[in-house]
Amino acid sequence: EVQLVESGGGLVQPGGSLRLSCAASGFTFTMYWMHWVRQAPGKGLVWVSRINSDGTRTSYAGSVQGRFTISRDNAKNTLFLQMTSLTADDTAVYYCARDLYGDYAQDSWGQGTLVTVSS
Amino acid sequence: EIVLTQSPGTLSLSPGERATLSCRASQSVSSSYLAWYQQKPGQAPRLLIYGASSRATGIPDRFSGSGSGTDFTLTISRLEPEDFAVYYCQQYGSSRYTFGQGTKLEIK
């Protein structure tokens, strides 16, 4: 069974940094591109970032470009999102999601971790 | 950036009825790059449809997707109680993804 478990969320002050992790199991992690998607309280889904299977190619939403960095450790089956220069607009549940192999969608999702940016 | 606009914002129907949800793109989207998700309160999204019309694993056949170019549709042929949720369309383009704002399907 595919499992994605996010961690690292919490309360952070404006301008601060946070690193999220996503532990993957139940599938061959090294084969899959991975994503981060976020959802502000009561709002819709927003795609954040994507990384290819070997970690050499990344892409970002314009709203986080230059502030967030996606990475992965294939030896530990773990996905990361390093977030810096956080603002209140970054407050959201952050989901880790697996790419649908060979297609353009996300077919497995974690339960999310809440990031709150507030003083 | 391609903007996806979903309509209606809220759809009120009864179990057993047919639901038709629309997703319109600000410019043409390849059918291969259009997906639909379902999200229930407190849960992660669930992939329903990819490639505009292919059902994801385990998705009942009452869910179907269609469309091309700038106009896409998710149809639920006969609503079951568990289908009342928020639905999002998503597109991929220029190495990025964008979601529509969602349609809330509520029980009438």
pLDDT of residue A111: 98
Residues of chain B contacting A47 with CB distance shorter than 8 Å: 90, 96-99
Q: What pLDDT was estimated at residue A97?
A: 98
Q: Do B44 and A112 touch (CB under 8 A)?
A: yes
Residue A14 clears pLDDT 90, i.e. is over it: yes
pLDDT above 90: residue B1: no
The distance of A108 to chain B (nearest Cα, Å) reads 7
Distance CA B28, CA B69 (A): 5
**Per-residue b/e over A5-42, b at no fewer than 16 CB within 10 Å?**
ebebbeebeeeeebebbbbbeebebeebbbbbbbbeee
- Return d(Cα A18, Cα A94) in angstroms, integer: 12
Mutate to test the interface with B, among A2, A45, A70 (most CBs of B within 10 A): A45
Contacts of A105 in chain B (CB under 8 A): 35, 47, 50, 56, 90
Which of A104, A113, A114 has the highest number of chain B CBs within 10 A, making it the mutation to test binding with B?
Answer: A104
pLDDT in tens, A84-114: 999 999 999 999 999 998 889 999 999 999 9
Interval A60-91: pLDDT, tens: 999 999 999 999 999 999 999 999 999 999 99
Q: What is the mean pLDDT of residues B3-7?
A: 97
